[in-house]
């Protein structure tokens, strides 16, 4: 007695057609997914670089605003007490006798000096605050010595060759410039080079 068999199923031609149709659908979908991941990574990189620009600009603007050491040993002129040279370029941690950092601290691209008065005692005493910006690898550090030491990274992925300083006049003279600019370029894989200019305006006259 012969049993009836169910012959339902896919033929080889139908199976091949299904594979072809599936590949036609899958290829563009996969491309869209990969492109989406790439765009997300690029956007994240650009946001990170932009965040560094904002943080470093805030610090630098505040630091330049207070730069200036008064020359109290010199006679006061028509405009009052003058200044000592208050900006140092490519300076060691102890340049000019003003120590900030250690011998292991890389030379600072720029150091900003200002007076600090302590009025807690019977007689006010004066010392010098130092703020320096230096590169360690591709990280831009800000180190501040003002009764203590703080050292933080304010920008990442800095191109060392791009780091420059410009002043509204000669940076290192006693005629302390009113404007100071620290410029550099940051670049991270997957993001276009991002030029940053940190601008500061001195408040003291």
6 is a domain residue: no
Domain assignment present for residue 37? The answer is no
Lowest model confidence (mean pLDDT) among 45-54, 73-82, 132-141: 73-82
Q: Is residue 30 part of a domain?
A: no
Give me the number of domains the chain comprises: 1
For residue 186, being part of any structural domain is answered with: yes
| 18 in a structural domain | no
Q: What is the pLDDT of residues 18-77, one digit of tens each?
A: 777 777 777 666 666 565 555 556 667 777 788 888 999 999 999 999 999 998 887 666
In-domain check, residue 156: yes
Integer-rounded Cα radius of gyration of the chain: 31
Which residue segment(s) compose the domain that 118 sits in?
43-201
User: Residue 106: which of 138, 134, 139, 145 has the closest Cα?
Assistant: 134
Q: Does any domain span residue 90?
A: yes
Whether residue 177 lies inside any domain: the answer is yes
């Amino acid at each position: 007695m012969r049993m009836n068999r169910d012959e339902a199923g896919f033929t080889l031609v139908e199976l091949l057609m299904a594979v072809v149709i599936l590949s036609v659908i899958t290829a563009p979908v996969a491309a869209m997914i990969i492109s989406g991941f790439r765009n997300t990574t690029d956007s994240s990189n650009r946001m990170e670089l932009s965040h560094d620009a904002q943080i470093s600009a805030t610090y630098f603007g505040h630091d330049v605003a207070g730069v200036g050491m008064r020359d109290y040993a010199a006679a006061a002129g028509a405009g009052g007490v003058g200044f000592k040279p208050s900006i140092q370029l490519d300076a060691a941690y102890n340049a000019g006798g003003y120590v900030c950092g250690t011998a292991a601290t890389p030379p600072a691209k720029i150091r900003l000096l200002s007076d600090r008065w302590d009025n807690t005692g019977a007689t006010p005493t004066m010392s010098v605050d130092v703020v320096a910006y230096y590169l360690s690898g591709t990280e831009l550090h800000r180190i501040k010595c003002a009764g203590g030491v703080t050292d933080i990274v304010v920008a990442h992925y800095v191109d060392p060759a791009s780091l420059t300083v410009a002043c509204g006049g000669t940076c290192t003279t006693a005629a302390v410039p009113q404007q100071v600019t620290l410029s550099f370029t940051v670049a991270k894989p997957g993001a276009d080079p991002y030029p940053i200019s940190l601008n500061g305006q001195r408040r003291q006259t």
